[in-house]
Structure 1
């Protein structure tokens, strides 16, 4: 099989940025039935184009009458990067499904799942213990629980029976999605036989084994990863061949090379994603798999250095289009940066992360307790919340709707104003909670103190700029002098 080096012809199709609600509206039932819970079909079309709703949210489209329209819209709105599902049930993960190269153009969908490896020569107790750590690894970040997502099972033994036994042990202990890692089709068949109900990802088909791996993928109806290290022409050729074989769910691995090879790795990932999103290259329109785990194959003796290299490689791959990662280290300082960066990278840039406005109660406040106020930017709120809880304070906290902006930004943008504070005090009936009229505002909103006193009739205390200082501030300034 010779590599196919010719670039794929560009499709005559629109990018998501060029699709208007009118383009979608003409394919909808246009009955304004309300089953989608939108005011009318045009409102539904607008939210569909913005990525806020799915075709599944329009029940009439799924009837025989509108089958042709559904098929047209499915093709019309299909992302340049195909969505591939791994696993089943509540833990199933979707990878790919990307519409744009740059996040600010639209938004990224399907946050990159992170898999951690195990291997088939681990003693059963060690294997089960590692699985438990993978499943229990979590971190609460601005009100969201960040977790790991999958288990990559590596065949180190090269023995089908050993690999099959390890996969069986894992499937009995966990419902997490699996990535079965071996280049030997016989070993892969043994793993698939034990995980056939779990819809695992096969990793990987190569130039040497693609025919046998393709047969297995078709037989078990599971997705297949293609591995062509640092050879994009071969990767395209294998993709074309496997599509012709009848496989639709593919994952592409152009190779992950750490240290001196990292720039070329990033260049390959970028070239593939650019071809898919800008040229609509169907052969590169599949999810990308990054393997920071490869740093452990180096000769470095220090584990800390290897962990640092793995963390660096993972962060770079997250930033440059990896749709799935396989990692090794379970250290918090290696994984937490990836989980937090993933969360921020996949936050819709058009919608700041916010919390609901209103009054929060901490501890057991009474009518003499302090009243504080902040904005509804999630990072601001959860930081303040954490500091209040850590200090075991009894108080009320008013959260003002500032459109998800932080205190400083909301003050500068005139979202956090004296009038907004006055409205929040009134709408939340704060005068019924306490028998005083003293309000503590953030230090970053100090310039609002005078006009807020005029707008509210309350006495304003300017609190610390950093919420970590709230505890000391209250010890020194509360209750206020009358």
Structure 2
């Protein structure tokens, strides 16, 4: 793994501190490059040898490949093997497979499922990224017709899956939305490589459980001038240890700056005949560096654990998952409705919100900005104290919304209640430590004090 710091980049920058990139200094620009918040093109004075040096220096250990024009999907682009070493940048893409021998009804049902899939969890919308079209008929014209139907019914990125170069060619003639071409083998790499060059498409190199052969295929494609290459080492749902070993070897090779196999990795849990085996294979792959999986089962019992696992792994460990701070209404609150408070840590907020909604309460919820920390941690770390709570209350302009001056703070924040009451002039009530107790608290304590 490359250990890259701002100083490594700063040495190649103009050092003019012109601010045209949007940052005040070149050092700040260097830091933003590492975070991938900015790109080298954002510096108008970066040219020549310095630009060439930085392109090489900032290239990720795993090359990034993008496919799809309407809804681009980024795979690869990682700098570390394990998330805690820095962070992961591009989550595992999930593609649902269809075949060119499905009935039109079944085909469109699966395509619409992928297109419309949107599952909200702790404030994030979890989606499926693409449709993988398999040439099971092994007939170019049938495959092309299927690709056309799919493309007409979705804006999702597409993967054309066929080991027959003529089928890939026929599909691209009817629709070239820069799909991912799957796959080039030791027998077809030249034909598939030429097709990928002609249509400017990324391509997958495939070899079944033979990493030496896989490297040869990838090297052959690179020798043709292709750079947008992913690799598939083969998937064995009945023997996951073989698949696991291949994935780990490939990613370690990338971290050692191998310029041939530093590619995104494709896995196909859809190769499993049993849905539970498919879920297990997909889970293992997401846990072990896979950049894109092709999945078959569309039942929620299979899809939900996969997208949830992916979300958990691909959150940034440096930044807690948070929601926007501010005042939120629940139900149909009135000026005399209760005012509750919590932090902007997503898990805390959505737990509190769920308890308020399930109880059918008409209330306001003031969300404090605690930099994404939960109540107890924020109080202990100073992200939530009486003065910051008072500032949040003033920014929310509560007196314009409410006819009273009472606020219920979380039980875990009881230590700030006295000081907050003194400096704000509000009555501060200490609520339950667990938000499940809010309905009973409102019924007994709030209404009694009204």
> Normalising by the residue count of structure 2, what TM-score does the alignment of the two structures yield?
0.93
Question: Would you say 1:283 and 2:251 are equivalent positions?
Answer: no
Matches within 5 A, 1:54-453: 54-61=39-46, 66-89=47-70, 91-195=71-175, 197-259=176-238, 261-277=239-255, 279-296=256-273, 306-450=274-418, 452-453=420-421
1:16 deviates by 4.3
Distance of 2:146 and 2:112 partners within structure 1: 15
Shift of 1:290: 1.1
- Is the Cα contact below 8 Å between 2:181 and 2:204 reproduced in 1? yes
Deviation at 1:29, TM superposition (A): 2.9
Report if the CA contact (8 A) 2:206-2:217 is conserved: no
Indicate yes or no: 2:18 matched with 1:33: yes
Are the aligned partners of 1:16 and 1:77 in contact in 2 as well (CA < 8 Å)?
no
Moved more, 444-453 or 371-380: 444-453
**Aligned equivalents of 1:421, 1:170: Cα separation in 2:** 53
**Corresponding pairs, count:** 450
1:394–1:57 distance in 2 versus 1, CA, 3 Å: farther
Structure-2 separation of matches of 1:385 and 1:39: 40
Q: Say if 1:106 and 1:393 are closer, same or farther in 2 by CA, change over 3 A.
A: same
Of 50-59 and 78-87, the range deviating more from structure 2: 50-59
Q: Using the alignment, how far apart are the partners of 2:411 and 2:240 within structure 1?
A: 44
Q: Distance in 2 between matches of 1:225 and 1:471?
A: 55
Per-residue CA deviations over 1:3-25 (Å, capped at 9, x if unaligned) read: xxxxxxxxxxxx543x2222212
1:332-363: CA deviation from partner (whole Å, max 9, x where unpaired): 22212222222232222111122232222333
Task: Give SS of 1:282's match.
Answer: coil
Secondary structure of 1:478's partner? helix
- CA-atom RMSD in angstroms: 2.1
Residue pairs, 1:10-25, within 5 angstroms: 15-17=1-3, 19-25=4-10
Separation of aligned partners in 2, 1:109 and 1:462: 40
CA displacement 1:150-204 (0-9 Å, x = unmatched): 0000111111111111111111222211111111222222222222x21111111
Deviation (angstroms), 1:449: 4.3
Matches of 1:414 and 1:281 in 2, distance apart? 45
Looking at structure 2, the residues matched to 224 and 291 of structure 1 have their Cα atoms a distance apart, in angstroms, of 16
Does the 8 A contact of 1:16 with 1:49 survive in 2?
Answer: no
Tell me by how many angstroms 1:446 deviates.
4.2
Give the secondary structure class of the aligned counterpart of 2:449: coil
Q: 1:409: Cα distance to partner?
A: 2.2
1:9 maps to none
Match of 1:335, SS state, is: helix
For 2:51 and 2:96, locate their aligned partners in 1 and report how far apart those are by CA, in whole Å. 38
